[in-house]
Amino acid sequence: MSSVAPRVVDPRASIAEERKTPSFPIRELTYWIDGDKHTTELKERIMLELERDPLWRVSDHPNLSLAETRERAMSKVRRLADLATSRPLQETMMRMSIISVVDPGFWTRFGVHYGLFFGALQGQATPAQLAYWMDKGAMSMQGITGCFGMTELGHGSNVAGLETTATLDESTDEFVVHSPTLTATKWWIGGAAHTATHCAVYAQLIVKGKRYGTKTFVVQLRDTKTFQLMPGVNIGDLGKKMGRDQIDNGWIRFTHVRIPRSHMLMKHTKVTRSGEVIEPALAQLAYGALIQGRVSMVSDSANVAKRALTIAVRYASVRRQFSDGTPGAAETKLLDYPIHQHRLLPLMAQAFAMAFTAREVNADYQRLMGVLSELGGDAKGAAVNEAIKDLKETHATSAGLKAFCTWMCLNIIDQCRQSLGGHGYSAYTGLSQAYSDFAVHCTWEGDNTILTLQCGRYLVATALEARKGQPLPANLSYLKAALSKDGSVSTGSCKGNAVEQVSSLDTLKAAWSSVAAHAIVNAVRDFEAGLAKGLSKDNAYEYSSASRLHAARMHTYTYLLHRFAAQVEQSPVSLRPILTLLAQLFGAHSAIQHSGEFLQSAFYTGAQVETLKAFVNHACSEIRKDAVPLTDAFGYTDYVINSPLGRYDGDVYEKYFELVTSLNPAKPVPYFDSLIKPLLERTNEVETGPELEIDQD
């Protein structure tokens, strides 16, 4: 063992050397990730505005109480509401995107009104109804603050099973909104406990004793002047949660609450004064707006993952641990250990895959909404049929992506947190709270397992239709070669054994298409086996639920890789080498994690899988050279990163120590006299035995 201590290296010098020779133009990649130069500059301006605004201080969040957390969040609402109604939509959307990373709890509190309550009005109100509620102040938050009353104590994902009722009283031209059971209590309603004056309530429409399914009704909760609860409305606070304490989630019970008939949102289903219920010929058009939340969570997953990786990768570039034994040599950077590269860099590839997929999916969604907005509920013809097909495909794809990407992001956060070692457990290093705040994404806007099964159901149904000659959507074109009348599967195999052949982007796309096709065909077989046993169609789908879920996961991997590859092809020439390598790493590392699927589909042999493993080793070592520049390209300032371990300048230890000591100054222990002193000064009340003589024979 050497008596010479390892050489100490300034962490700022350690991170500076990481930026000396990037293989790509960092700024150009930032523009490509954001969309263009203008968007990057807008993002940077908004980040600076937030950083300089005392209202948006975030470094002390870990020390705030529940009450302080909620109060601070509410102090920001007016400022942002004024900006939201006075600034261009693109700027507002960018501001909210940044806030979702900086302060996700506030993002939720603000988003409940604008995204959910006002979004319900936009998506489900008639033009006249929307104008009425906007005149009341729904858009500007002047006179109205809204919440979204879907989830109940006894029902979440099963919206059709909600128990709250809205019964038409023809004699008064009113709906009577009622919670008939304890489990009908609206639960987890953000904004209900303290803030909301009105609620978009999902309830069973009942007219003349007949149920017409779940519809949306605007119900006033509190008097807008006195803030007292309206007659028949009971509200309570759900208190402390795992994360996002900025939002005041509450419960609501309705006891025969009367609202005007016009407060049912009637863009789709209409109820006349005489009690006639007019339902649209194409009721599924009403669900287009519900996809928006899922699409936005794919973007949010990418953004939160980018922050987590920035912290973990930058810290790994300055943290040194152990040395090769050379006297006086510096300890080795964590990022120089191959195992640490394997720990973080495949996650980096996943973040890029999510980011580029989010961009394409959002563009597809916007195009679809444009088409649907031009179609009325009673529209007919080929254009409508095509729109319905696109809607079904987008609904299923967004369901699978929402589930897959939020699961992926939550894992990225926790793996990055663990990579920080003991410091990852600190509330001040940024990732413990990020995990708690993000976990809700896996259950709200649809439980992930349920959404994945919805995607799987669509895949099975589409495969069955394709077998009968129906055209496949572009995202499932890989099924064409795999399907046959007799149920056999033929998807090809990898022909070469060289690493360039086994790991090329085209080969990986074909490999994942093969695996996804096999998984879908297996789910179809299980479904048909259920039917053969005499099960109903719905029960046959349940019988095949495990294989449906697996098929959806394999399809989503495939979808992400194909979208990633498409963005690589469209990218500037200067960025293609690094983006290609990241896309290959995403496809290859994911394939190794599911190597059994590739062997079972016979696309790869065992030897080829070993070659793929060697490629992953190579890709990690190459991407490691650009790891810090890649985090720089994400374009988040130190304010947004909000972690001393993820600082741009690498000065992690000084700033970490300063933060902890400034937020926890030395002061007398408040319970010393009452607890510690009595503990130390207590006397033994039992008789003790003789001293133990340990030196006696």
Q: Please give the angle made by the CA atoms of 591, 592 and 598, to the nearest 5 degrees.
A: 55
Q: Are 214 and 162 in contact (CB under 8 A)?
A: yes
115 closest CA partner among 102, 100, 131, 103: 100
Tokens of 495: 């022909």
Q: Which positions ≥6 away from 637 have C-beta within 8 Å?
A: 44, 47, 48, 51, 648
The one-letter code for the residue type at 76 is: K
Q: Are 291 and 303 in contact (CB under 8 A)?
A: no
In the set 18, 163, 393, 445, the catalytic residue is 445
Please name which of 401, 456, 399, 361 lies closest in space to residue 157, comparing C-alpha atoms.
399
Nearest-angstrom CA–CA distance, 133 and 42: 31
Q: Tokens standing for 616?
A: 């992953």
Residues 242, 564: Cα–Cα separation, whole Å: 33
146-149/198-207 β-pairing:
parallel
Contacts 24+ apart (CB under 8 A), 298-301: 298/354, 298/357, 298/358, 298/361, 298/362, 298/398, 298/401, 298/402, 298/405, 299/97, 299/355, 299/358, 299/362, 300/100, 300/409, 300/441, 301/354, 301/358, 301/405, 301/406, 301/408, 301/409, 301/441
- Name the β-bridge partners of 203: 215
CB neighbourhood size of 47 (10 A) = 21
Nearest to 125 by CA among 269, 259, 258, 260: 269
Count of positions (residues) in the chain = 697
Contact 195, 145 (CB under 8 A): yes
Phi-psi region at 249: left, alpha or beta (left = phi > 0; alpha = psi -120 to 50):
beta
- Specify the 3-state DSSP secondary structure of 235: strand
Distance CA 431, CA 94 (A): 23
d(CA 322, CA 539): 58
Closest C-alpha among 319, 157, 304, 179 to residue 254 = 179
- In terms of DSSP bridges, do strands 174-178 and 186-189 run parallel, antiparallel, or are they unpaired? unpaired
List, in sequence order, every residue forming a beta bridge with 166; answer none if it has no partner. Answer: 177, 205
* 445 given a catalytic annotation: yes
d(CA 45, CA 42): 5
Task: In whole angstroms, give the CA distance from residue 300 to residue 307.
Answer: 11
For residue 263, which of 97, 82, 138 has the smallest C-alpha distance?
138
214 contact partners, CB below 8 Å, separation of at least 6: 159, 160, 162, 202, 203, 204, 205
CA–CA separation, 453 vs 389, rounded Å? 19
The tokens describing 271, both together, are: 């109820």
What are the catalytic residues?
A: 445
